[in-house]
Amino acid sequence: MAKYQLLLPKMGESVAEATVIKWNKNPGDRVDADEAVMEIATDKVDSDVPSPVAGKLIEQLYQENDVVQVGAIIAIIETDEPETATAAPEAQLAPEVETTIPSIEVPHVAESAPVEESQTDFKEYTPFNEVRYDAPAPVIENQEVTEHQPDIATPVDIPGIAQLEPQAPSPYDQNFKGEGRFYSPLVRNIASQENISIDELDRIPGTGSEGRLTKDDLLSYIQYKNSPAAQKAEAPVQSFAPAESNTHSIVQPVAEAPETTVEPPNAVLPEESTISQPDTLNDVVTAEEPVAASPAPEPVKEPEVTAPPKAEPLAERVNASEPKVEAAQAKPTPSLSSVSGADEIIEMDRMRRLIADHMVMSKQTSPHVTSFVEADVTGLVLWREKVKGSFEKRENEKITFTPIFIEAVVKAIKDFPMINVTVNGTQIIKKAAINISMATALPSGNLIVPVIKKADELNLLGITKAVNDLANRARTGKLLPDDVRDGTFTITNVGSFGNVMGTPIINQPQVAILAVGTIKKKPAVIETPQGDVIAIRHMMFLSLSYDHRVVDGALGGSFVRRVADYLEKWDANRDI
């Protein structure tokens, strides 16, 4: 039986990796030729991976939610065909290689006299190795600790430390260690840009499959790491470093007298208090020098020790500041329920996150400008009502307004080709093909944008069939990666939801997008040879958003006006 290595196919020029969503076949299952083995997801579209051969799936090399590079082996399929002829000579050569290996061995060398001398020399140097590596280590450490031990304060003896330590609890367990975890190329790239080592990555808990670290986990950790709350969590431990004698002299008044307060770093006095508080414990010793110099074993009885006016006890101030710290830390920490329990927190799915990132990137990249035009499409509406019945009987397909809008856009692009461009730095790339992207709403509430390739080479019938085919496959999840690539201009039909007009966001790297509003009957002024009259007409708005880096108002306004002209001058006697 021959074994076939199933590779992750190439899914476009800009697609370098994909995520395994689901395995349709398990090891041991029979696989037919062109049958889908697994479902994958890219930043463009979800797709199936079919098997080009028939056989039995014997091994899955990746699990669900794993990120796989294009061209990598994802599964092994055992086919019914015999092994190729090239495999037989390799199998025959294998025993020959095994037989030659023993002939290379030299068993007598180990028994020779020089070797015994070498072993003896090695044993003589063994004590030296032990002294070299083991003995100095504890001696040096003990000396360093002994020299610096008097300068290090013991924070355990300072009252209030037990209350200050939980002031800023970290959501990341320092004892966590995820050694041997897989990190996707995206996670590694973000970690490299943020100067985060692999050892630090191993200490970040993950929420992915089997504890895998996701992009959101890493971004939340970076946000927490750079937040003021994370810096405050470390400040109390690092700032309390007074001399040992001063520590004991000032600890007793604070511990015994509730009125006496010592201001820790990061603790905030009430707004009405005008007393300036020191930043560190060393400053406290300087400010309250008489207390530190008091020789009494029980300073609580000393009348000189008094509390600052309007100062609250240390425990109350620490407890009062804790909700603020928790609120600051709650932002980067993902939660599945609200504090009150009344609100529902819904995590974005993968496609919604991609849409969100793409929309934000577009607004940050292109300065958006939107122009509006109102069009009288009465003739177009009447023509469609006349031909839609016969067209559906003949072609077994419905004709909607979308292919009509696409045809008008294609004609306008031919008149204004600088709308059909992309931007690469300081370069404007004028596209030769006119590929129309059409935004399609999915049953899940998400959005996908399939592309009609070379729409300028299709007539109205061809555009209609392409629109219906792509829309149906988009709603059933049957789109291929190539179906969402290489668009040069986008149309979105906001009128299908009853909207009059919209200000759409440009679909990068394109430079313009057209929104078509709903068609409504309105009273309008019509110019006739006999004079102006008011009549009920079918009216609609066209909204064009364009990239002001390369499309000025004259070009954008003229283009959308030209589209409206083609729709208004529709031939009522046209055949399809």
Superfamily of domain covering 369-568? Chloramphenicol acetyltransferase-like domain (3.30.559.10)
The CATH code of domain 3-79 reads 2.40.50.100
Residue 314, classified by CB atoms within 10 Å of its CB into exposed (0-12), middle (13-18) or buried (19+), is buried
DSSP secondary structure string for all residues of 261-285: ----TT----TT--PPPPSSHHHHH
**Phi and psi based region of residue 514 (left: phi greater than 0; alpha: psi -120 to 50; beta: remaining):** beta
pLDDT at 201: 84
DSSP secondary structure string for all residues of 84-134: PTTHHHHHHHHHHHHHHHHHH--TTGGGSHHHHHHHHHHHHHHHHHHHHHT
Buried b (16+ CB within 10 A) or exposed e, 265-298: bbbebeeeeeeebbebbbebbeebeebbebeeee
pLDDT at 232: 57
Q: Tell me the CA end-to-end span of the chain in Å, nearest whole number.
A: 56
Handedness of CA 374, 376, 380, 382 (dihedral sign): positive
Q: Which residues contact 420 (CB under 8 A, 6 or more apart)?
A: 413, 430, 431, 434, 488, 489
Q: What CA–CA distance (Å, rounded) separates 212 from 204?
A: 10
DSSP secondary structure string for all residues of 197-253: -HHHHHTS---SGGGPPPHHHHHHHHHHHTSHHHHHHHHHHHH----HHHHHHHHHH
**Domain residue spans of the chain:** 3-79, 114-151, 152-347, 369-568
Judge whether 434 and 463 are in contact, CB under 8 Å.
no
pTM: 0.50
pLDDT at 393: 93
The DSSP letter of residue 65 is: T
Q: What CA–CA distance (Å, rounded) separates 565 from 511?
A: 22
pLDDT at 85: 46
| 532 has catalytic annotation | no
pLDDT at 337: 54
With a cut of 70, list the residues of the chain below it in pLDDT.
Answer: 12-14, 43-44, 83-180, 209-210, 228-341
Query: CA torsion 422→428→433→437, rounded to 10°?
Result: 10
pLDDT at 252: 44
| 552 has catalytic annotation | yes
Q: Are strands 489-493 and 512-516 parallel, antiparallel or unpaired?
A: parallel
Looking at 548, 565, 571, 575, which residue is catalytic?
Answer: 548
pLDDT at 550: 95
pLDDT at 429: 94
Looking at 121, 552, 565, 571, which residue is catalytic?
Answer: 552
Residue 97 — φ and ψ, nearest 5°? -65, -40
pLDDT at 303: 46
Secondary structure of 403-419 in HEC code, one letter for each residue: HHHHHHHHHHHHHCHHH
**Strand partners for 411:** none
